[in-house]
Amino acid sequence: MTYPNSEETIKVIKDLVSIPSPSGNTNEVITWVENFLADLNVETKRNRKGGLIATIPGKDNDNHRMLTAHVDTLGAIVKEIKPSGRLKLDLIGGFRYNSIEGEYCQIETSSGKIFTGTILMHQTSVHVYQDAGKAERNQDNMEVRIDEKVHTADQVRELGIEVGDFVSFDPRVQVLPNGYIKSRHLDDKASVGILLQLIKQVATDKIELPYTTHFLISNNEEIGYGGNSNITPETVEYLAVDMGAMGDGQSTDEYTVSICVKDASGPYHYAFRKNLVELAKTNEIGYKLDIYPYYGSDASAAIRSGHDIVHGLIGPGIDSSHAFERTHISSIENTTKLIYHYLLSEMVE
Ligand SMILES: [Zn+2]
């Protein structure tokens, strides 16, 4: 038995977070994943909404498993070109404006041209605006300063920038020698990296899985409907691999795998959860049980859309989620180990 190498997983995660992929504009990152799997001779197919499914046939083909992680991220879209030549944004996904204040960003025009900019409070300069600190961080006050000589809306339009262009945030990824990884979009590209490395291990070691197993790389999770389709009628267990949420009162940390017992959608399948805990205990994997108060996953989206499945949610612990995210290689390692053993385990009775 060999676990995937976590240092290598971190490299995959670094590649993934460096490809802009706000929900609604994920073709480039899905193509990257497609190529990664094609190199392993793992067949994939795309669904109509742009996600990717890899299926590995198992011993039992009457009962299937599905695991999912999402490559779409938070982002924004150009809402308005201001008369000043600055851009007003509309946010994609659930986060606050203060978490992107000062962030470098990239604007992609519909013809594929890329421009860079900075997301700023309109009243940023303290030499000009007295209330700079107190002004509210909201849609009206925040704007994009484009790195071009533009001072009117017309000049911006001449560049090719228009309402509806996607805006993505600089991930500022840093991998530190002591095992921390800091980056935007570790939600949920850390988990996508983990799943890809596991598929690689299964493929290279020619491991026979007990059940036919589908891996869905979903591309609409941040807007609520990523993993609710393409679930075969044979699918019994559905495991979403997505970040564990940290904060006051939370037991999740950056070093263990977080096993979710309940989120805003209600409790996850009890027997399934207990199986995952058993697997963690038997294999001496560091884990935490937790409740995420304001959270929904692709697994709960699948249940809500009417699929009769056993659903679960686990993932690496991510600090300051949907903002300045960070995790540690040990969390990546523990999550990888748990999924590895899960893939080889018997299903819930
Ligand atoms: Zn997520």
Q: Are 230 and 217 in contact (CB under 8 A)?
A: no
Helices (H) and strands (E) in the chain, counts: 7, 19
Q: What is the pLDDT of residue 125?
A: 86
Q: What is the pLDDT of residue 129?
A: 87
Whole-angstrom CA distances from 270 to 125, 260, 262, 267 are 54, 10, 10, 8
Whole-angstrom CA distances from 9 to 56, 85, 192 are 20, 41, 10
| 112 Cα–ligand 1 center, Å | 26
Phi, psi of 212 (to 5 degrees): -60, 130
* Residue 113 reports pLDDT greater than 90: yes
Q: Could you give the residue numbers annotated as active site?
A: 221
| 283 Cα–ligand 1 center, Å | 26
Q: What is the pLDDT of residue 25?
A: 98
* Residue 349 reports pLDDT greater than 90: no
Q: What is the pLDDT of residue 178?
A: 98
Strand partners, 75: 92
Burial class (CB in 10 A: 0-12, 13-18, 19+), 109: middle
Q: What is the pLDDT of residue 348?
A: 81
| 94 Cα–ligand 1 center, Å | 11
Give strand ranges (E) for the chain. 44-46, 52-56, 60-70, 75-81, 87-92, 104-108, 114-121, 142-146, 166-169, 174-175, 180-182, 211-218, 235-241, 244-245, 257-263, 266-267, 287-291, 310-318, 326-328
What is the tens place of the pLDDT at every residue in 72-105? 999 999 999 999 999 999 999 999 999 999 999 9
What is the tens place of the pLDDT at every residue in 193-246? 999 999 999 999 999 999 999 999 999 999 988 889 999 999 999 999 999 999
Distance from chain centroid for Cα 312: 17
User: Phi/psi zone of residue 44: left (φ > 0), alpha (ψ -120 to 50 degrees), beta?
Assistant: beta
DSSP 8-state secondary structure symbol assigned to residue 293: T
| 35 Cα–ligand 1 center, Å | 23
Question: What span, in angstroms and rounded, lies between the C-alpha atoms of 333 and 255?
Answer: 9
Q: What is the pLDDT of residue 26?
A: 98
Closest CA to 135 of 123, 119, 120: 123
Q: What is the mean pLDDT of the chain?
A: 96
| 13 Cα–ligand 1 center, Å | 14
Closest CA to 204 of 17, 28, 56, 11: 56
| 27 Cα–ligand 1 center, Å | 18
Q: Which two tokens stand for residue 329?
A: 């290689």
| Mean pLDDT in residue range 27-32 | 98
Question: What span, in angstroms and rounded, lies between the C-alpha atoms of 223 and 220?
Answer: 6
* Residue 298 reports pLDDT greater than 90: yes
| 72 Cα–ligand 1 center, Å | 8
Tell me which of 248 and 132 has the higher pLDDT. 248
Question: What span, in angstroms and rounded, lies between the C-alpha atoms of 139 and 182?
Answer: 27
> Residue 255: CB partners within 8 Å, gap ≥ 6?
286, 317, 328, 330, 331, 334
Question: What span, in angstroms and rounded, lies between the C-alpha atoms of 3 and 81?
Answer: 50
What is the tens place of the pLDDT at every residue in 302-336? 999 999 999 999 999 999 999 999 999 999 999 99
Closest CA to 235 of 68, 63, 67: 63
| 345 Cα–ligand 1 center, Å | 25
The strands making up 180-182's β-sheet, listed across from edge to edge, are 174-175, 180-182, 326-328
Q: What is the pLDDT of residue 226?
A: 83
| 53 Cα–ligand 1 center, Å | 18
* Residue 1 reports pLDDT greater than 80: no
Question: What span, in angstroms and rounded, lies between the C-alpha atoms of 136 and 123?
Answer: 10
Q: What is the pLDDT of residue 130?
A: 84
Q: What is the pLDDT of residue 225?
A: 86
Q: What is the pLDDT of residue 103?
A: 98
> Residue 154: CB partners within 8 Å, gap ≥ 6?
none
| 241 Cα–ligand 1 center, Å | 8
* Residue 347 reports pLDDT greater than 80: yes
> How many residues are recorded in the chain?
349
Question: What span, in angstroms and rounded, lies between the C-alpha atoms of 315 and 71?
Answer: 14
